[in-house]
């Protein structure tokens, strides 16, 4: 099995790392969620390689990208995504993004609309934040403290895999996805143990970025390309969660040309069921090609 090329690019004032998985077709930029890394997209990127050239970036202070002390805001994360696309001079891009990464990609759209062909957004945290009551925001502060206290060092990669398997947010993710997280999301220490590249403090800092409806909706209304919005089955079948989320989804679909899809699993659905997402991404690609938004079988990449 071939390995991706590890590359760096200067974007939005920091050194950003990304993996180039090769493959044929238009460029697909994949953006991960908070606390994760670009390499976590490996199962999906490998399956898409026959149709897309996947670039999986590490967000600031994640993976092998530069650690930044600048306070995290949605505006900053959006500028990072737009800066990455511009720095590589990418065009006709298919965006695939999850959670915090999806929110950043959506907010980046007005800055790079001429470069984007379409977007596949999975469980955007940005939209979920718009549903939260003041009480839920207070509970979120306690949850962020819990993130700061989570374990981030293990005796070995195997020990890390064994400790995470079947627990918490990794409860039902595939072994393939978990190994992608272990191999790409952790680094070895001098004593042979491994630690997360994204520290708990960094992950918690991302959750300090909060969205407000008064400025989010005008930006989202500027998205001009077709979107697939993927919602996990766990959210869709939960009466309380969906009751809060549905009005936000409906408003988004009124503003943006959107196909709504329900995918199996939980918030980490792409790690749990990668085979469910690949055909949906390709469905979007086929739509973009029919509409003339994508050239067929041509990687649209500038200097890199």
**Using one digit for the tens of pLDDT, what is the confidence trace for 115-146?**
999 999 999 999 999 988 777 777 777 777 88
Beta bridge partners of 95: 29, 119
CA separation for the pair 38, 171 (Å, rounded): 20
CA angle 263, 269, 274 (to 5 degrees): 90
pLDDT digit string (tens) for 163-177?
Answer: 999 999 999 999 999
Q: How far is residue 225's CA from residue 137's CA, in Å, rounded to a whole number?
A: 31
**pLDDT for position 132:** 83
With bands split at pLDDT 50, 70 and 90, how would you rate the model's confidence at 299?
very low
Res. 16: pLDDT tops 80: yes
What domains lie within the chain, and their CATH numbers? 5-133+211-290 (3.40.50.1820)
State mean pLDDT over 66-82: 96
Residue the block writes with tokens 């005008």: 218
What is the average pLDDT across 196-211? 92
3-state helix, strand, coil in the chain (%, to 5): 45, 20, 35
| 213-248 per-position pLDDT tens digit | 999 999 999 999 999 999 999 999 999 999 999 999
Residue owning tokens 């680094």: 187
Any idea what the Cα angle at residue 275 is, between residues 102 and 259, rounded to 5°? 50
Does residue 1 have a pLDDT over 70? no
Residue 304 has pLDDT above 60, yes or no: no
| pLDDT of 296 strictly over 70 | no
Residue 72, pLDDT score: 95
d(CA 241, CA 47): 31
For the chain, percent of residues with pLDDT exceeding 70? 97
Mean local confidence (pLDDT), 147-158: 95
Quick check: 30 pLDDT over 70?
Answer: yes
- Helix (H) / strand (E) element for 159: namely helix 157-164
- pLDDT score for 297: 56
- Residue 272 has what pLDDT? 98
Q: Where are the beta strands (DSSP E) in 123-263?
A: 153-154, 186-188, 194-196, 227-232, 258-263
Mutual angle of helices 239-255 and 213-220, in 10-degree steps: 50
């Amino acid at each position: 099995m071939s390995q991706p090329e590890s590359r760096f690019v200067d974007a939005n004032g920091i050194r950003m790392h990304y993996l180039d998985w090769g493959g044929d077709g238009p460029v697909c930029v994949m953006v991960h969620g908070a606390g994760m890394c670009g390499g976590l997209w490996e199962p999906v990127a490998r399956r898409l390689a026959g149709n897309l050239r996947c670039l999986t970036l590490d967000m600031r202070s994640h993976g092998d990208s530069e650690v930044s002390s600048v306070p995290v805001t949605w505006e900053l994360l959006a500028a990072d995504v737009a800066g990455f696309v511009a720095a590589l001079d990418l065009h006709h891009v298919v965006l695939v993004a999850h959670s915090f990464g999806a929110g950043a990609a959506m907010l980046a759209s007005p800055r790079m609309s001429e470069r984007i062909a379409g977007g596949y957004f999975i469980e955007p945290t940005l939209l979920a934040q718009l549903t939260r009551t003041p009480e839920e925001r207070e509970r979120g502060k306690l949850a962020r403290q819990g993130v700061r206290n989570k374990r981030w060092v293990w005796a070995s990669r195997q020990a890390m895999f064994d400790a995470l398997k079947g627990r918490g947010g990794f409860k039902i993710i595939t072994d393939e996805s978990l190994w992608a997280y272990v191999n790409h999301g952790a680094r070895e220490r001098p004593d042979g143990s491994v630690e997360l590249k994204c520290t708990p403090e960094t992950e918690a800092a991302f959750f300090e970025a909060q969205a407000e409806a008064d400025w989010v909706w005008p930006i989202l209304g500027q998205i001009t390309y077709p979107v697939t919005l993927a919602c996990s089955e766990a959210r869709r079948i939960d009466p309380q969660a969906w009751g809060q989320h549905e009005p936000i989804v409906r408003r988004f679909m009124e503003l943006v040309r959107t196909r709504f899809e329900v995918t199996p699993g939980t918030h980490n659905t792409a790690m749990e069921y990668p085979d469910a997402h690949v055909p949906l991404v390709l469905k979007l690609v086929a739509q973009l090609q029919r509409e003339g938004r994508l050239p067929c079988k041509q990687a649209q990449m500038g200097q890199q």
